[in-house]
Amino acid sequence: MDYVSLGSTGLKVSRLCLGMMTYGSPNWRDWVLPEETGRLFVKQALDLGINFFDTADMYSHGASEEILGRAIKDLTRRDHVVVATKAYFPMGDGPNDRGLSRKHLFAAIDGSLKRLGVDHVDLYQIHRFDSETPLEETLEALNDIVRSGKARYVGASSMYAWQFARALYLADHNRWARFVTMQNHYNLVYREEEREMVPLCLAEGVGVIPWSPLARGFLAGTRKRESEDWGTTNRAKTDDFARQLYFSASDFQVVERVKELAGRRAVSPAQIALAWLLRQPGVTSPIIGASRPEQLDQLVAALDITLDDDECSTLEEPYEPHRVLGHT
């Protein structure tokens, strides 16, 4: 496993990050795997050299954080891993149980630390942009969380480039802790981030840690056009959100190119799609998910696949612009 700097920080993270959304409570989503299974994936990831784990308070209403925290305590040392979590989405029925107000962020970080069983997280991220809270309020609260020692760094996720640019400016102007990462929606069938967000991150030294690098499994090549056969896993069969994001005619054309190249290379389509993303400028550590052990093994093996310029051009050629997706 290779380790790289997280953006322009001195923090070293594995080239892949294990996303923990898949592990929690099936009561939240019926495709979520229970704790005993999730622990096996954390151990497998550790054995493969992954030291970077991403979760969020809203995943299984906190159960994902609890599972990760207990697994870290039992399977490794806290200082051997990089723990990232996120806040924004509702965690209760009250009007202040959501968003990025100072009140909610202070409650959210304390809740996450309690569930994780740690005294700090390495990366504390805002899960979305909150248009109802002044940006200055959010940024100052995040700065205070860093200064209090409850988070080492702060990151952002899924917003417009102008919003992120303004946040970076305000943090610098006020000498607050600035965002060191952008967790954005970026993969072979959704490349709108290349227009403004990725160039901004490159210019500002911000690490790009894409979510859904395989387009919620769509790039695995198992889903069929004009069919109700949406895949082989329970998540694929029930993931309505994926159908909102992908499945256009050009998306399927990209997948066909991925499958063709995978056949020539004698690897899986998922490995080709991930190898392409790892090659893109600014990408630090894509956030991968796995529901079967062989999936995790294959994705880590993709680190050894190097695509040439012609192969990348072939994969990219069918792409057609999309409307902005994934910011809500």
153 assigned to active site: no
Beta strands in the chain (DSSP E): 3-5, 12-14, 17-19, 52-54, 82-87, 121-126, 151-157, 179-183, 207-208, 287-288
Which of helix, strand or coil describes residue 4? strand
Amino acid at 306: T
* Chain-centroid distance, C-alpha 106: 23
Q: How would DSSP label each residue in 55-116?
A: --TTGGGGHHHHHHHHHHHHHS-GGGSEEEEEE-S-SSSSTTSSSS-HHHHHHHHHHHHHHH
- Provide the pairing of β-strand 82-87 with 52-54: parallel
β-bridge mates for residue 8, sequence order: none
Handedness of CA 308, 271, 242, 196 (dihedral sign): negative
**Burial class of residue 48 in the structure, from the number of CB atoms within 10 Å of its CB (0-12 exposed, 13-18 middle, 19+ buried):** middle
Rounded-to-integer distance, Cα 35 and Cα 69, Å: 11
Rounded-to-integer distance, Cα 194 and Cα 321, Å: 11
Q: Which of 59, 88, 153, 186 is catalytic?
A: 59
Handedness of CA 97, 99, 104, 107 (dihedral sign): positive
Question: Would you say 214 and 274 are in contact if contact means Cβ atoms under 8 Å apart?
Answer: yes
Question: DSSP state, 175?
Answer: T
- Here the tokens at position 248 are 């256009």
Residues 6 or more apart in contact with residue 260 via CB below 8 angstroms = none
Residues with a catalytic annotation lie at 59
